[in-house]
Chain A
Amino acid sequence: MGIRFVLLVNKQGQTRLAQYYEYLTLEERRALEGEIVRKCLARNEQQCSFVEHRNYKIVYRRYASLFFLVGVDNGENELAILEFIHLLVETMDRHFGNVCELDIMFHLEKAHFMLEEMVMNGCIVETSKSNILSPIQLMDKGF
């Protein structure tokens, strides 16, 4: 149960952020990301946000030019994960102000830290935006 990985991918299929909560070798990651991205990017707006792949269930959502893909176990609640994705996007929006691909590219570390505040070892620990962002704001101040 829980989240296995979080991927942010742009329209061209390039990975912009990858966080895994289980160990995969680089080759496995490359193969997995390739397959998943191909599957999800081929889908359109009228299709549902859930794709099954190998032993994962992928819950994804598109925001402007970025795809947020979350790989979960088969037993996970899909709608809850969609809510999680939305929360992640809202949090990033609040911090970056209408987040876009470039924000994540140039602030990859920060994006990772935000994700770290929300998810730990595949488990969602924090769902309040201000709680997630307060350590990030501290970091910006140089602590």
Chain B
Amino acid sequence: MECWVTGWRNTDSGGPILYGEMKKTRLRLGFQGAKQSGVASNREWMVSALKENTMDSELSQVRHTMQEALQTLSSSSDGVQISEALRSVKHYLNGLQNIVPPREREECSKIHFSTFLQCLVNKLSPDWLELLPAGQLEELWDSFFLESPADQAFLVLMESIIVTAGPSFRLMKMSQVLTKFLKRGRLVELMWEICQQQVPRGSSLLQETLLSKVVCLPDHLGNRMKEHCPSLFFPQNYFPLLGEEMIQVLQKISDSLRGGSDCSISFLSQILAKVCIHGRQKEILGVLVPRLTELTQADCIWQRLSWRLMECVPDRGMEAVVSGLLQEAPGAKVLSQLLGNLVMKNKKAQFVVTRKCLLMQYRYPTEMLQNLLGYLALDSHRRTLLLQVLKDLLETWGSRSAIKHSPVEQQLYISKALLICLSHLKEAEIEHIREELLTTMMGGVQCHIESSLPQVRHLGMIVAETISSRIHSEGPKLKFQYEENTWTRELLSLVNVKPADSGPPASGSPIVPAPTAQPASLSPEGKAPQEEEREKGSDSDLDSDDEFVPYDMTRDKELKNTKAPVYIRDCLEALTSSEDVERWEVTLQVLESLIQRNPAATREVSTELAKVLLHLEEKTSMEGFEMLRRRALVAVTIIDPVQVAQYLTSQFYAMNYSLRQRMDILDVLILAAQELSSPKSLEKAKIPGPVEAGIQLSPAPLSPSLSRVPSEDWRRIVEERIKNKTRRFAKGPSRVNTANEPNKLNSVVGYFFFPLIQRFDRPLVTFDLLGEDSLVLGRLVHTVGILMYFAINTTAAVPMGKALLEFVWALRFHTDAYVRQGLLYAISSILLSVPAERLLEDMTEELLETRSWLAAVAENDPDEDCRKLAMQALLLMEKLKDKLQIGSS
């Protein structure tokens, strides 16, 4: 006995980790609990075993054999003796069950066995195994683990692997045995064993331990074995295996249920939950879902089993399991088959499905939304939830603060969910909530349209259109104008999904139905061939004119008879007082070239002309009116920058202008500054078209130079190509033929810039930049940023940068994402345009403050673009630092 205890003590150094916990548990559960907790409580058990001596004399023989064997094991180094001792213990194993009375076997497996196995593990070493020749001992050794009760063997193996430090012979051996263990499907035995036990629901400690060991097996093995870990223990291999084994256990359970005996499924649920919590939903559900789908197809017992499996998932695992299923299931029908009415029975599941997945997260793909809402729509009980979900979604969609503070992606997600929800609803159901829908929709669409981000506006329009068409299927419908892009198309395609389509698609990838949302645009094309056909039919000869290819006829416009004015003053007169519409149009068309040809004449009337142009209204529906007017204004500004810029900037803050006009002023200032700052501008004497489009449409052009490339730099591209294919034999630095000119903006940029940022905080009656006109404020911020960018290499750049930093600082917590984007852009252009030394000398304080703000934005801003822009600005700052360090060293 003495040496046995010491033998145990020797191994105690790596101690059972659950020791302290066990002690507590034993107090609670009494002796029974301690017995079941197996190897974890070896020492406890030893003490109690001693006490137990008196209990049952029948069992003393077992105990005796075991103790003897243990003694031999620990002390002897004679191979024959050892193997005899082992064989004597093996009697009690399953192999020789008829000899050994069942009671003794049970006693053996329950109480003594884990100690024995532990001892075996301790003895494991190359020398020990060679005590008998031809690997006899090794074979014996293995058989103890592969044939003894699965839970004990598994636990001992795992515990020993965990406590073994570093790669060693013992570790390798044990991992080999574990591999065999897994390959023989002993996990099935293990789980089945637990499922059969009629223990009360409360998770006993043994179960708990087993659970954590089974699920964390890849982690433990990976931690111990590092790169030598066999591929079977990789998560991507182990969890599918586990899934297969679970199916086998379920199979056994279903068989036994058919046989009339009860089984508990909760251990499987716990495993499933734990695996999912560990983030391995894809691996395990990837196996479980297809198999379960197949099995539950026609079998109601399997269906029950599956439902029960999900119901028994503990609350903390519910979210992981349900969200995993929502993603893995190929369709709503399958989901309904697997989950049953889980959402109605389980509060947690209901919360996850109806709130968490829809309103609190937005990372899931659209298919998952379709699964989720399709699942809710499939059953009449669940449809009440669908209605509730619709109301909740609508409330969030229409809430002003949600629109302001949540990221665009989330709003897109909610809108998608709304559209899918609507497509599932029936007429009768809509009838009940029509009024409610209408009021929420009206409020919501207003909030959306007020937003300064175009995507948010589009979302509002599309959802409102859909709702209105569902509310009044016959009556008048809302119809908005919005550009079509991949975004809107995707949304519109959701509108037309029929609820019947929610079953699993035949092919692997879900087929998105062709958007039928543009019938209006399609129909003319669709009709054209028919018409042609008809015409052909009526014609006597069927041959066509196809042998001739038509030339371009786009320039075939209607002819105007009026003479274009030749003098600037004539233009003024024509634009202000002419009743002749054609003359007015012709004047506008020639105005830009006239201004460019007659700079002197233009300067005489520049302010007057700018005033006329700024107030010009579109009298007829003239094609390209906006563009012509803007070009003319830009041309005037370029010819006489000081006067016109002064006039325009003063008018920006003046009374009685529409927002459109104010934004036009900003556009004109940008374009004129660009023209002035870019070299060769006067030679070309033309404003490249795409630039206007870029500045006009995209909310934040990251760098204006980018958008200029296609039109302006073709010459550079061509020259580069020539250079690439030309070999030069001359030595010395290559001559660069870039047109170097002084920045024409240098002397005038102040007139563009400073008046714009002077009065932004003084609201007028009709114009409140800091209030609801944040769209204009956003444009203003972008404009000053762009002006800053163009002011590179000018003397005014330093004071401008300083003023702009202060301006940005004042607005940095603005709630509108568009404004924040502009501010971040402005920071970037300051960093680019102001010379680095001056930045650090003159504005150190401000820079440091800005830096911390940027870091905060990059971390926390809800808008993705803002985060990106902040990152960019931070990068620029880093570069600045590097440059200075290089310069100083």
Q: Do A and B come from one complex?
A: no
User: Which A residues are closer than 8 A to B by beta carbons?
Assistant: none
User: Which B residues are closer than 8 A to A by beta carbons?
Assistant: none
